[in-house]
């Protein structure tokens, strides 16, 4: 391993360069004591403020993070800028409306700035001096949003002062760069952590996600004052990769709550409302109108599709200003709760996210997952599989959902639409695991475990943390943790599941072979995670083998080879399960 480190010293400047490029460009005029200052302090001290870390500093609750980020987004504006700009003058101009807490630039259909003021009033002040453009023969819909366009007055006079702006990166690294970084790593564990660092959402990307929700909320609030648009799914559950979609839901539950509480005496006031036949029809009507509104008036929104007959009706659109593909639903509190649960699992042990990111990237590299809906395994299902696997370790790395329920107190009690969604929400009340297995071992055993899982008869169940008989005949059954009668992977076909199993076995085998015969440091061969992950490498490995033998024979031979060496090395594997042919 040390030799590998020496070999790759030549590539090290690349890593240094990476850190420099990604260092955020911001923080010129910050206000001490604000939420942002707090988030930043934690980010600096522990890597990621929101997702936990190795140290035992108190970790924030999901709801705290959501509320802080939401409030921060409400003080923030989005500005489309000329490609070259004088940053100092730009900030000075904006700070006439109040102190700025944070800002950064990024590229999406031109240069954009995200500017967070210290106070909400500054946003109103800026809106008050902003004009609606006159577009010649065309007409503008005078919608006063928080998405602005900055123009240079007398741009000729300013040319000498304009400079190119350093932009914050909003996308994941290219395959080539990832390959270089993985080859630079010193161990497989280091590779998994490198991949996590490169793919996880940055603070800026998270800000942009909350800001996008906040901008959509402004549109929805025109119809439903007091509503909230909340992000859920991988944008907030700590398993999101740069470039993942932005799932958001329109939360109308809060509307009217406070006023109802305030009334006293013998009278109770209710709003006059229109009745519709069912909750589903209400959802469809609401989303239809919001979809129409985003399409007609929503600045930066394009390609709006209203998919109202889906099991969960939604509006899908591209928010070009931020570059996010968005899915807007309503009444999705259970999904928000499952995001909270995943956030907790991700924060409980630093190995969880590293493992999930690697499995997600592995699946993507082998086309097991896709951004197009279909019969494929989803990232959500893969995350559940990793959590389940970590619950099955000895000692377990993650607790079961039932155990988290036993730790809950009265305040944690949560019933949504008749489903018990109760679990402890204070991360600091859950004891860390005593398991010290390495990421390398865990990844290898993940592949072995699922390469041999009895998918034909068993269901994956993170509530109980053990295999259960499948209640129905779908090829892959993963129980929804809260709506327990639902299978989150009902869409997965037998052939897609088989592809997953074959690739898991093959990856276990590659790992196993490498353990015996890792490429020499000077050979420049991909090793460890790189050998499993990069599409070109993966395809090459598969293709070269496919040429030689049909897949079933190939897999059988791989298994035989592992089986025989597994029995040879039974002491080396420390009594853990060796791969077997039962499927």
Contacting Mg ion (CB under 5 A), which of 43, 71, 245, 467? 245
If phi > 0 it is left, if psi is from -120 to 50 it is alpha, else beta; for residue 389 that is alpha
Nearer to ligand CTP, 220 or 248 (CB): 248
- Residue 380 binding result from Mg ion, ligand CTP, none, given CB thresholds of 5 to 8 Å by partner type: ligand CTP
Q: Is 231 in the site for Mg ion (CB under 5 A)?
A: no
Report, in Å, the least distance between residue 522 CB and ligand CTP. 38
Options 129-137, 229-237, 399-407, 520-528: segment touching ligand CTP (CB under 6 A): 229-237
Contact 313, 329 (CB under 8 A): yes
What's the helix, strand, coil split of the chain in %, to 5? 45, 15, 40
Q: Is 448 in the site for Mg ion (CB under 5 A)?
A: no
What is the DSSP code (8-state) at residue 420? E
Contacting ligand CTP (CB under 6 A), which of 335, 368, 390, 404? 335
Structure tokens at 463: 């509530």
- Residue 118 binding result from ligand CTP, Mg ion, none, given CB thresholds of 5 to 8 Å by partner type: none
Report which of 344, 343, 460, 470 is spatially closest to residue 403, judged by C-alpha positions.
344
Q: Is 247 in the site for Mg ion (CB under 5 A)?
A: yes
Nearer to ligand CTP, 381 or 452 (CB): 381
Spatial neighbors of 140 by CB under 8 A, at least 6 apart, are: 132, 133, 134
Report, in Å, the least distance between residue 362 CB and Mg ion. 18
Q: Is 316 in the site for Mg ion (CB under 5 A)?
A: no
- Residue 338 binding result from Mg ion, ligand CTP, none, given CB thresholds of 5 to 8 Å by partner type: ligand CTP
For residues 54 and 348, what is the distance between their CA atoms, to the nearest angstrom?
A: 9
Contact 348, 427 (CB under 8 A): yes
Contact 79, 116 (CB under 8 A): no
For residues 49 and 350, what is the distance between their CA atoms, to the nearest angstrom?
A: 13
For residues 539 and 534, what is the distance between their CA atoms, to the nearest angstrom?
A: 8
Contacting ligand CTP (CB under 6 A), which of 194, 338, 350, 507? 338
Report, in Å, the least distance between residue 458 CB and ligand CTP. 19
Structure tokens at 360: 């997600």
Q: Return the number of other C-beta atoms located less than 10 Å from residue 9's C-beta.
A: 9
For residues 125 and 162, what is the distance between their CA atoms, to the nearest angstrom?
A: 26
Q: Is 240 in the site for ligand CTP (CB under 6 A)?
A: yes
Structure tokens at 411: 């305040």
Nearer to ligand CTP, 85 or 178 (CB): 178
Options 123-131, 225-233, 408-416, 549-557: segment touching Mg ion (CB under 5 A): 225-233
Q: Is 245 in the site for ligand CTP (CB under 6 A)?
A: yes
- Nearest 5°: the CA angle 541, 543, 549 is 105
Nearer to Mg ion, 36 or 234 (CB): 234
Nearer to ligand CTP, 486 or 537 (CB): 486
Nearer to ligand CTP, 245 or 426 (CB): 245
Report which of 542, 476, 535, 534 is spatially closest to residue 509, judged by C-alpha positions.
542
Q: Is 339 in the site for ligand CTP (CB under 6 A)?
A: yes
List the interface residues with ligand CTP, window 377-396 (CB under 6 A): 378-380
Q: Is 237 in the site for Mg ion (CB under 5 A)?
A: no
For 463, half-sphere exposure in the C-beta direction (CA atoms, 13 angstrom radius) is 14
Q: Is 244 in the site for ligand CTP (CB under 6 A)?
A: yes
Residues shown for the chain: 583
Is residue 307 classed as helix, strand or coil in its secondary structure?
strand
Residue nearest to ligand CTP (CB): 233
Q: Is 246 in the site for ligand CTP (CB under 6 A)?
A: no
Contacting Mg ion (CB under 5 A), which of 30, 170, 234, 237? 234
Nearer to ligand CTP, 330 or 378 (CB): 378
Q: Is 562 in the site for ligand CTP (CB under 6 A)?
A: no
List the interface residues with ligand CTP, window 454-493 (CB under 6 A): 480, 488
Report which of 332, 338, 340 is spatially closest to residue 426, judged by C-alpha positions.
340
Contact positions toward ligand CTP, by CB under 6 A? 232-234, 237, 240, 244-245, 247, 335, 338-339, 378-380, 480, 488
Binding site for Mg ion (CB under 5 A): 233-234, 245, 247
């Amino acid at each position: 391993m040390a030799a590998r480190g020496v070999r790759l010293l030549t590539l090290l400047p690349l890593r240094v360069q990476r850190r420099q490029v990604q260092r955020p460009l911001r923080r010129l005029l910050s206000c001490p004591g604000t939420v942002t200052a707090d988030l930043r302090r934690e980010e600096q001290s522990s890597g990621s403020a929101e997702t936990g870390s190795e140290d035992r500093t108190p970790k924030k609750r999901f709801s705290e993070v959501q509320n802080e980020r939401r409030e921060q987004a409400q003080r923030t504006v989005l500005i489309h800028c000329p490609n070259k700009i004088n940053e100092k003058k730009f900030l000075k101009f904006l700070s006439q409306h109040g102190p700025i807490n944070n800002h950064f630039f990024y590229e999406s259909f031109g240069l954009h700035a995200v500017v967070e003021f210290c106070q909400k009033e500054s946003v109103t002040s800026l809106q008050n001096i902003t004009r609606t453009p006159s577009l010649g023969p065309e007409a503008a819909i005078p919608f006063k949003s928080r998405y602005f366009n900055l123009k240079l007055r007398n741009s000729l006079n300013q040319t000498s002062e304009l400079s190119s702006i350093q932009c914050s990166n909003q996308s994941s690294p290219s395959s080539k760069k990832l390959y270089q970084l993985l080859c630079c790593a010193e161990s497989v564990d280091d590779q998994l952590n490198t991949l996590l660092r490169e793919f996880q959402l940055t603070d800026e990307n998270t800000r942009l996600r909350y800001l996008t929700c906040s901008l959509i909320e402004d549109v929805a609030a025109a119809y439903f004052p007091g509503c909230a648009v909340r992000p859920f799914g991988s944008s907030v559950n700590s398993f999101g990769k740069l470039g993942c979609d932005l799932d958001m839901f329109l939360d109308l539950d809060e509307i009217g709550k406070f006023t109802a509480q305030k009334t006293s005496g013998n009278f109770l006031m209710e709003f006059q409302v229109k009745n519709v036949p069912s909750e589903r029809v209400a959802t469809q009507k609401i989303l239809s109108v919001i979809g129409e509104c985003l399409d007609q008036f929503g600045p930066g929104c394009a390609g709006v599709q209203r998919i109202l007959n889906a099991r969960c009706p939604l509006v899908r659109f591209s928010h070009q200003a931020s570059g996010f593909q968005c899915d807007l639903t309503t009444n999705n509190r259970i999904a928000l709760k499952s995001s909270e649960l995943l956030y907790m699992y991700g924060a409980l042990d630093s190995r969880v996210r590293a493992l999930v990111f690697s499995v997600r990237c592995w699946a993507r590299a082998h086309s097991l997952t896709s951004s197009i809906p279909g019969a494929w395994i989803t990232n959500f299902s893969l995350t559940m599989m990793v959590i389940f696997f970590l619950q099955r370790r000895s000692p377990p790395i993650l607790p079961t959902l039932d155990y988290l329920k036993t730790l809950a107190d009265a305040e944690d009690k949560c019933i949504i639409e008749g489903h018990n969604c109760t679990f402890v929400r204070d991360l600091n009340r859950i004891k860390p695991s005593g398991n010290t297995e390495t990421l390398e071992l865990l990844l290898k055993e993940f592949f072995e475990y699922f390469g041999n899982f009895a998918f034909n008869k068993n269901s994956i169940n993170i509530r109980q943390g053990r295999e259960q008989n499948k209640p129905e005949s779908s090829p892959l059954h993963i129980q929804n943790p809260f709506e327990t009668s639902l299978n989150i992977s009902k869409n997965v076909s037998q052939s897609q599941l088989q592809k997953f199993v074959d690739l898991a076995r093959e990856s276990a085998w590659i790992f196993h072979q490498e353990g015996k015969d890792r490429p020499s440091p000077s050979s420049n061969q991909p090793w460890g995670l790189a050998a499993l992950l990069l599409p070109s490498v993966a395809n090459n490995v598969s293709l070269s083998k496919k040429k030689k033998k049909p897949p079933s024979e190939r897999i059988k031979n791989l298994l035989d080879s592992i089986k025989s060496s597994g029995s040879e090395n039974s002491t080396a594997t420390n009594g853990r399960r060796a791969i077997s042919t039962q499927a």
